[in-house]
Structure 1
């Protein structure tokens, strides 16, 4: 396991393939048992990959090749990964030898015939496929492939079930080594933000918020990592209504800066928001009202993490956190989400910015241990030094939830960055 990011690409591949082996051998058997699925079928075509597919492919496979069919068979000895594909797929057992094909069949028909032969050998009780009305990550089986698969299965088609629970467990659960890597990735993100919000990047009175956002994206690229969304930097300013400062505005003394950035490497992602203050001439520290607003944001983080009890649904965590905040007079919103293979990952949503009463579908999923999250929220606090103007203090911080409770990935922001 590595504690340093970014790694050279070849080393990344070795780490990722080691994780994949460990996940298949140690995690997947239990997930399949819990879901009652003994054969999991994942299908993707080039340029139309199932979201699960990249998490099962070797690191040197950057996408599906032609049609790639993966079969994961639960046996008494664990899980046997098989591939019905034109090319070898890492440790997956080749379950299709074109030399066995009926010459009368076209290649596509021959591939589906090979799938059928593999299923006949496996004799599964329940066949899981990636179809879900709730989680986009678990809805990756295309209509075309679903139609062809069901036709190929013949009498086995009656045993097909939706694999939503299995997919979510596979995507949301983190190995200890993956959590260690996410600590390092969040540290890299925090260090990048600290530089972005410094005189090394910002010349007050000249640099725009948009300049800073593009600097972050370029910096990630130069470091050998990539963003999974366009970084954003926004300004709040005394005397200007919230949202009234354009993204291409020049940074001025007295501004409150906020960023939202996320990087990806090693097949994992981060999602981070932090805040900075531009000192006015003669100031040596931010106004006490802004310092207090950040402290209120930290308190809101405490209330959410205290409510994140394994077994509760996302909606139950949201309701408990909001009730605790209301009891303390904290005005804020919670919109936290899992983060791992994907930035907005599979698993329970704990609110959305426009759904503070609960999130239909994804909000009903249970919170589980060995998962990582973007603890995302905001508070609204009047600032006396700004004439009582309400400031929106938004925070987003990576956390891990394990049997030991919640831990922060790297460290959360407890003081405003100043420049």
Structure 2
């Protein structure tokens, strides 16, 4: 057989092997997709059992309707379970007394939904008006929210459709489910906390690898190289990103110099990462900080190390001040008072002073969970509505803050050290879900330049 014919035969064999490979039996031990689906089902069933009755009754809502349309999912679809919709479907939760809330998926089906074990009713054969009339709810919650985007999934035309389909007296009983959505998502069962902690550990592992000599060769690697390395790791593991492209940035005496750009990393740089992964319907939000050693250095510049250490001290003061059973606003005030008492100078965001004290921006301990910026009680100035919500055990918080400390080697200019890790609120306060940032990462100068990031 000549070489051309042999090459053609090999190419054809490769084509058919690639085509048939997905049809071959997959060993049970490799079915990661099924394992993740089963874990999500457990979380969903437990949340419907434990959290749903509590939050519906607290908010005085007898029936909660979430609409889905083909090609237009509500933000809560991953919470309730994905399924086929054609053309309109509804998740309907009804308080009919007793310990359980009735759960119905009307016009939504498919194996992943019908097989998750969370619903009492899964059917495509229904009359929505008759279904509602039989249950006669006094207050019907719809996903409409002026303050929380993830609670505002009902479109204008969707609202019109519901009002026209149900008519009176039901249309007059529609109310906003904004607070209900916030409470439902932000109060956690144990399996959710375990799942989120796993996502946090993945975030930490990858961030700390990214800010190391595994990825960075000073004088060669760019900030963008590091960001793309992280994106490739997410692709390999079947994970999502909390905020799109990771923020890999350098901060110097004049502030942030560059972010996820073609800026080449050099000795003496102070590098930061701000990012998060999405896993099991959870998205984390965390940061890490590294110092790039110069060839003659074996440890970080003393002023940079001191600034990092002061930031860690301030973070612990802040974390220990958090308490359940009071509003997010009251927690914000507690944290500010505790920082002042500990000798720190609380300041508005990014407005450091020229004084000798370490300035601290602390008003950013935001809700986290299903989104990198969650929708529960939030100790953050950019969430004024959620500052009024009570912080309760099982809420997840990204404890985010910035500390500004003078660096003598920079002529006294202050270094902004960003810290952020994810915690769960317990009866005792706020507790870390994985090892929080406790050390300034060091990237060694590598004279063997020329290595590329893969």
Alpha-carbon offset, residue 262 of structure 1: 0.7
Are 2:184 and 1:170 aligned? yes
Q: 1:245 to 1:37 in 2, by over 3 A?
A: closer
Counterpart position of 1:102: none
Deviations 1:93-124 (A, max 9, x none): 447554xxxxxxxxxxxx7xx11111111121
Alpha-carbon offset, residue 281 of structure 1: 2.0
Q: 1:372 to 1:14 in 2, by over 3 A?
A: same
Name stretches of at least 5 consecutive residues in structure 1 with no aligned partner: 1-5, 99-110
Are 2:219 and 1:195 aligned? no
Distance 1:95 1:370 in 2: 30
Counterpart position of 2:366: 337
Distance 1:135 1:86 in 2: 25
- Secondary structure of 2:391 counterpart: coil
Counterpart position of 1:140: 153
Are 2:257 and 1:236 aligned? no
Distance 1:69 1:275 in 2: 45
Maintained 8 Å contact 1:209/1:251: yes
Alpha-carbon offset, residue 7 of structure 1: 8.1
Alpha-carbon offset, residue 343 of structure 1: 1.4
1:418 to 434, 438, 442: 442
Counterpart position of 1:347: 376
1:15-414 to structure 2, matched below 5 A, reads 15-58=39-82, 61=83, 66-77=87-98, 78-85=100-107, 87=109, 89-90=113-114, 91-94=118-121, 97-98=124-125, 114-153=127-166, 154-229=168-243, 230-237=245-252, 240-245=253-258, 247-327=261-341, 328-330=343-345, 331-334=359-362, 335-352=364-381, 359-414=383-438
Distance 2:87 2:426 in 1: 39
- Secondary structure of 2:230 counterpart: helix
For the pair shown, the structure with the greater C-alpha radius of gyration is: 2
Q: Number of aligned pairs?
A: 390
Deviations 1:326-375 (A, max 9, x none): 441331213121111111111123224xx5xxx43222222121111111
User: Which segment is superposed worse, 295-304 or 143-152?
Assistant: 295-304
Maintained 8 Å contact 2:376/2:395: no
Alpha-carbon offset, residue 316 of structure 1: 2.4
Distance 1:197 1:244 in 2: 17
Distance 1:176 1:375 in 2: 20
Q: 1:218 to 1:56 in 2, by over 3 A?
A: same
Counterpart position of 1:3: none
Deviations 1:187-242 (A, max 9, x none): 221111121111111111010111111111111211221212211100123xx511
Distance 1:19 1:329 in 2: 41
Alpha-carbon offset, residue 73 of structure 1: 1.0
Distance 2:199 2:108 in 1: 35
RMSD (Å), alpha carbons: 2.1
TM-score if structure 1 supplies the norm length? 0.87
- Secondary structure of 2:339 counterpart: helix
TM-score if structure 2 supplies the norm length? 0.81
Q: 1:120 to 1:95 in 2, by over 3 A?
A: farther
Distance 1:184 1:171 in 2: 18
Maintained 8 Å contact 2:270/2:291: yes
Deviations 1:260-319 (A, max 9, x none): 111011111111100001111222211222222122222232233233222332222223
